[in-house]
Each structure stands twice: as structure tokens, then as C-alpha cells.
A and B are shown apart, each in its own frame.
Chain A
Amino acid sequence: MNNNVLSVTVLNGYIKGVFAAEEMLHDISVCGEVSGFGLRGTNAFFDLKDETSKIACSCFGMKNIYIPKNGESVIVFGSVDYWHKMGKLSFVVRSIKPLGEGALAIKLEMLKKRLREEGYFDDAHKRPIPKYPKRVCVLTSLSGAVRRDIVTTMRARNTYTDIDLADVPVQGTQAAAKICDALALADKQGYDVIVIARGGGSMEELMPFNDEGLVKAIYAAKTPVISAVGHETDYTLCDMVADERAPTPTAAGQMLAFDANELMAYIDDTIYSCKRYLEDKISRMRSDLHQLCMRMSSRSGGRIASAKSDILGISSSMAYSIKALLAKRKSDVEAQVIKLNMLNPENMLKRGYFIIHNKDGEVNRISRLSAGEEITLTGADGRASAVVREVKNDV
């Protein structure tokens, strides 16, 4: 047994030798997530881990070497080394490369694929953004420029829309959860639109907007949601699930703020058109009426003309008859006048007759005379007095 007793130094030296001799453990690249990163001078110490394992890493002389963040996936290049003084194994890193964007992109792509299959990005689920929103809630960081961009853009076009600005963190590990909470809160306030906005950033900075929980919260919201995250080239899951995507926060402002003057002109135009339609209708009816009158008058004109000619006919024949009648009357009257003239006593006197008067007046019967009575004889040329000698009634 005693022959087998080794000192710690000998053992550790032996272990070190084994690791040093194993080629598989030298100049290799290892992929993992950084945790517990710490700098001591120019030396860095951290663990590299994956889902089930981890290994301590040390990096001496961090000059010109990429400094990773905790939680970041990296590829480190170096060799396994056994630190015999401490009896600890360590991976000595000579270079670090961020796997970050590549790995993140793969992860994101997988999440996107799954959510798409689950129907979260379906167009059928998207609600229309109201054209003339009255109340708008913007979820963004009030310390950023986004707030100013949106408010300025909207105010330049109208003072109609009220804007509520809700302050939320837009990056970091807490951001997604806080945006979800704020969204749920805003969703109950009866806004016309909710805008989730953030300025541009790196893919990592925009990661809260690729959060599965946020995607589901936006999907569940009853209020239409506009996503205005990052710049035009940044495309997040939040953009894909939102009812509308604005390429920038300013674009979201433009999307929401209709031009009040333009709208007033439009309303004016509409009423003017209505007036014109009404005037058209009236003028059409007037011309219809006019035509109707014309038709009526042309018909009645014919009737009047024929009535006129009838009347003319009748009246001319009447005139003729009247003339004849008058002529006949005239000749009758003339005959009567002749007769009357003939009967005029004066004419009778002229023809040699006499009129006898007694004291009682004109005598037209012999019986009215008595013997011895004085009478007057009136002739055409004068009068004579006489006395009746005898009266004989036997003639």
C-alpha cells in the first residue's frame, strides 16, 4: 500500500500530464452560454454552459478579445488545462467569438415557425386600424425619442386624437413582461388603438419584442395594436402578430393621425356633392315638368284651335243669320212705318178727310151727335164751325 502513496503534487502533476498529452483537448472550439463573467485586471473568468453541463473558463490578457455578456452564447477557442496548484480544471480561452446573432436567429426562426403554425400571424385574425382614432395609447419608454417622434408627428396633422403615453421599459429581460402587463391594462381602457413603439436597436436589444408571451398578449388584445419597433429593416415577432406594422415610430404617428384639414375639406366636398345631387334632381324634375307642360299645351293647343274654328264657323254663320234677320226686320219695320205713315191722321187729313170735335172731344160715331149741337171740323188746311141740323142713325 505504501508504494502506492503519492503526494498531491505528484498526483496533480500526473493529471496535468494526462490532459496535456491528450490532443483532443487542445486547440478546440467550444460553444456555450457565458455565465458569471468577471474581469480581474486583464484576466477574465467565467463559466461556459449548456442545458446540462458547465466548464470553468479563464482568459488571460483580454486585450483585443471580445468581451461577452452573461447569458450570451459564444464560441471559445483554446485548450483544456489542469491547474495543478489548485487541483482545478479549466478551459483556457485564447479567443471568443459571439455565436449570439447566429444562434439567436436560429432560435427566433424556430419560434417564428411554431407561432406561425399555431396561427398567431394569421391575417384573418387581424383587426382593422380605425381611420379616425379619438383615443390612442402608446406603450413606449418615455425617456426615448420615440415619444417625441410620435407626438410631434400626430400633432402636426390634427388636434383631434388624444394620446396617452404609457411608460414601459423597451429593453432588458424585464421588458417583455412589463409590456405585456401594460398592454393588458391598456386593453381594458377602451382605446381605439394601442401602439407598441421603440426605436432601432441591435437584434439583442429588440429581443423583448420577439417574446412569445408578448406575441400571445398582442394576439389576445381586443384593441387593435400597431407595432412600431425598430427601424424599417428590423422585423420582430411583435410586428408579425400586430394588426398593423409601422416601419418606424414616426410612421405609426402618420398612420394614426389623419389630416384634420384634409378631412374637413372632404366633409365639405361631400356636402357640396349632396347639394349638387339635389340641384340636379330639381333641375331634372323641372325639365320633366316643362316637357310635360309642353306636351299638354301642344295637345290642348290643337283642341283650342279646333274649338276656335268651330266657334268661328258658328259665329260666322250666326252673323250671317243675324244679318238676314236684321234685314228682314228692317224691311218689316219699313213696311210698318209706311203703314203707320198712311194711318197718320195728318196724312188722312191731307187726303181730304176731316176730323169732327164736339164739346166732348173727337167724334167717331154719328150717334154721339145731337141735333142743334155745335161742332168743329178740322181739315188739312184749317178749321170750320158748324151746327148739326138733323141726326139720322139709319145708314
Chain B
Amino acid sequence: MTFEQSLKKLEQIAEKMEDKDTSLDEGLKLFDEGVLLAQECMKKLEESSGKVTELTARLEKLRVTEGEKQGE
């Protein structure tokens, strides 16, 4: 699951739990699930290193292709 999907699910769980018709049993189950999702999200947020990569090398290949195109 992507971060966005996890977060969305967490929001849905909160919404369901807020519903008065949700039984206590179901609420407890949902809460467990919600806590797991929240932990997962937090972990993803905390563990990210935030890479910044320059793609010049990859695009160099593109330039070569362009050169060939121009030569034709």
C-alpha cells in the first residue's frame, strides 16, 4: 500500500468508528487496524531520507539519441 492509500484507509477507519451504528466489537477491530496503519505511516515519514538525484547521466543517453536523429 502506498502512503497515500494507508492514510486514506486510516481516515476511512476514523469515519467508520465515528458512526454510532458501528458495534463495539467492530470498533475495537477497526481501532487495532487504525493503529497499525498510523504506525506504518509514521514509520514511512520518519524513515525517509529525501534523496535528490540528478538525472543528467540518464538524459545524456537521450542527447545521444537526439544527435543521431539530427544526423539522419
Interface SS, A side: helix
- Taking A161-B48, A278-B28 as known contacts, 18 extra A-B pairs with beta carbons closer than 8 A to each other, sorted by chain A number, are A134-B3, A155-B52, A158-B50, A162-B53, A164-B53, A165-B53, A165-B55, A168-B59, A178-B66, A185-B62, A264-B42, A267-B41, A267-B42, A270-B34, A273-B18, A274-B17, A277-B14, A278-B31
Question: Are B35 and A271 within 8 A (Cβ)?
Answer: yes
Residues of A within 8 A of B10 (CB): 267, 270-271
Residues of A within 8 A of B17 (CB): 273-274, 277-278
**Closest residue to B11 on the A side, CB-wise?**
A270
Question: Are A142 and B56 within 8 A (Cβ)?
Answer: yes
Question: Are B31 and A161 within 8 A (Cβ)?
Answer: no
Residues of A within 8 A of B (CB): 130-132, 134, 137, 142, 151, 155, 158-168, 177-178, 181-182, 185, 260, 263-264, 267-268, 270-271, 273-275, 277-278, 281-282, 285
Interface SS, B side: helix
Residues of B within 8 A of A134 (CB): 2-3
Residues of A within 8 A of B59 (CB): 166-168, 182, 185
Residues of A within 8 A of B66 (CB): 177-178, 181
Q: Which 8 A-B pairs have the closest CB atoms?
A: A159-B50, A166-B55, A160-B48, A277-B17, A162-B51, A167-B56, A271-B38, A163-B52
A277 and B58 contact, Cβ closer than 8 Å, known pairs A160-B45, A160-B48, A264-B42 = no
Residues of A within 8 A of B34 (CB): 270-271, 274
CB-contact partner of A160 in B13, B38, B50, B52, under 8 A = B50
CB-contact partner of A260 in B28, B45, B56, under 8 A = B45
Question: Are A181 and B3 within 8 A (Cβ)?
Answer: no
Min Cβ gap A164→B in Å is 5
Residues of B within 8 A of A161 (CB): 48, 50
Question: Are A185 and B58 within 8 A (Cβ)?
Answer: yes
Residues of B within 8 A of A167 (CB): 54-56, 59
Min Cβ gap B4→A in Å is 5
| A132 to B8 CA separation, bound complex (whole angstroms) | 11
Residues of B within 8 A of A263 (CB): 45
CB-contact partner of A264 in B27, B28, B45, B51, under 8 A = B45
**A-B contact list, 12 entries, CB within 8 Å:** A130-B4, A132-B7, A163-B50, A163-B52, A166-B55, A178-B62, A181-B66, A182-B59, A263-B45, A267-B10, A270-B38, A274-B17
Chain B residues 26-71 with CB under 8 Å of chain A are 27-28, 30-31, 34-35, 38, 41-42, 44-45, 48-56, 58-59, 62, 65-66
Question: Are B28 and A267 within 8 A (Cβ)?
Answer: no
